[in-house]
Structure 1
């Protein structure tokens, strides 16, 4: 059974908060409900409307957007709402009773080159997973039906899945111009048929699933400098790395040597230029933002 966690995310509108799940909530389309009558096909939305401050419920992909009335501030109720959502989802209760479940999902997929010549990024027009997953071989891919199918091709070396894209690394035996269309169509058809991308037992990168309530709960043994480094990586580095089909993880910080260790994944892992480029880019950024707390950044391939 899936274990859900919720991350609370601010939006540009102070009356609206996003509650992001580590699993997909709906596959076929987006849903917006202005009142409990409109929410007849969503038991989750109906329950949320029992909270007197809920004005609008929006469910899409892996998140629930909630608009509040002015009778409360989000700061006073967001943790309680997040806890209720975690309890509801982990109880296995229905989210939305989706219609036309036998019809193909409208989706497009396009191929995009990455800085790593051995890796191609296949981008979908919709979100496909709520967390990040990496599979180095077919044994690791047992919990991902999509990755398992991709590994049936002898030229597929590694598979990396994140939000709305799949990064595939290949062996040199094949050229991209000969295999890109076939891979793109396989991925598009897989999503369109509503097949499960990863199953309930799949572990996201970085280890076990995040703690309940919010992913913002940081392990207690991390010092303030490590927390500051993580914030910088999340805000400034990860979006740029993701655009190239990769991912970066904080591994450790040594206060004595002032050394930061990070792990490169997806298209960044094994890329001839990314280790040098990212290492120096991250190193320069951290030195500029954190001063003499940072001496060196060591980039490791995941």
Structure 2
């Protein structure tokens, strides 16, 4: 099992945490919690009020803290949190392929629905190990496939109705219902 270690960086507000294994082929910046949706670990780190930004590298994570707290208090516990995340084999990065949005036969509303599913809904669902796919839009009903952890999950109906359906109805008032097939 790889041990998470940490080291200082030239920026005194930023600490580098070495993961001991490659987690992504290409690093990416998470300057805000909203932009951390590709990384469940970065999202977890943003749960702390002292987090300023996170960068996910191929085999490391750098965390930038707020000025009002010292690394002397944070580095060891944060290293432990990251180690626990890694030991549980929880994903550091969630990769998924976007659904095609540019089918010329699609109505404009269908292209817009696919765009929202790709940009807003799928990244959030992916944090819990699931995915959704557009199936069809017919008679003001949006049909989707729930995949991965979402299929058969006890809370999938809550995700579907309180999450996905509510958001889609906000954006597209003509949608009457979202149904999983």
Q: Distance in 2 between matches of 1:21 and 1:33?
A: 17
Q: Distance in 1 between matches of 2:93 and 2:81?
A: 17
Q: Distance in 1 between matches of 2:78 and 2:56?
A: 15
Matches within 5 A, 1:64-103: 64-99=61-96
The alpha carbon displacement at 1:69 in A equals 0.3
Three-state SS of the structure 1 residue aligned to 2:34 is: coil
Matches within 5 A, 1:218-257: none
Q: Distance in 2 between matches of 1:8 and 1:32?
A: 19
1:10 maps to 2:3: no
The alpha carbon displacement at 1:100 in A equals 5.0
The alpha carbon displacement at 1:23 in A equals 1.1
Q: Deviations over 1:58-77 (max 9, x none)?
A: 01111100000012011111
Q: Deviations over 1:221-241 (max 9, x none)?
A: xxxxxxxxxxxxxxxxxxxxx
Q: Distance in 2 between matches of 1:32 and 1:8?
A: 19
Q: Which has the larger radius of gyration?
A: 1
Matches within 5 A, 1:140-289: none
Residue 42 of structure 1 is aligned with which of 39, 44, 68?
39
Q: Deviations over 1:82-107 (max 9, x none)?
A: 00000011101111112459xxxxxx
Q: State the TM-score, normalizing by the size of structure 2.
A: 0.51
Q: Distance in 2 between matches of 1:46 and 1:4?
A: 22
The alpha carbon displacement at 1:4 in A equals 2.8
Three-state SS of the structure 2 residue aligned to 1:9 is: strand
Q: Distance in 1 between matches of 2:73 and 2:12?
A: 13
Q: Distance in 2 between matches of 1:13 and 1:4?
A: 26
* Superposition CA RMSD, Å: 1.5
Q: Deviations over 1:144-188 (max 9, x none)?
A: xxxxxxxxxxxxxxxxxxxxxxxxxxxxxxxxxxxxxxxxxxxxx
1:53 maps to 2:50: yes
Three-state SS of the structure 2 residue aligned to 1:94 is: coil
**Structure 1 spans left out of the alignment, 5+ residues:** 102-302
Give runs of ≥4 in structure 1 deviating > 6 Å.
none
Q: Distance in 2 between matches of 1:41 and 1:18?
A: 19
Three-state SS of the structure 2 residue aligned to 1:38 is: helix
The alpha carbon displacement at 1:39 in A equals 1.2
Q: Distance in 1 between matches of 2:53 and 2:37?
A: 14
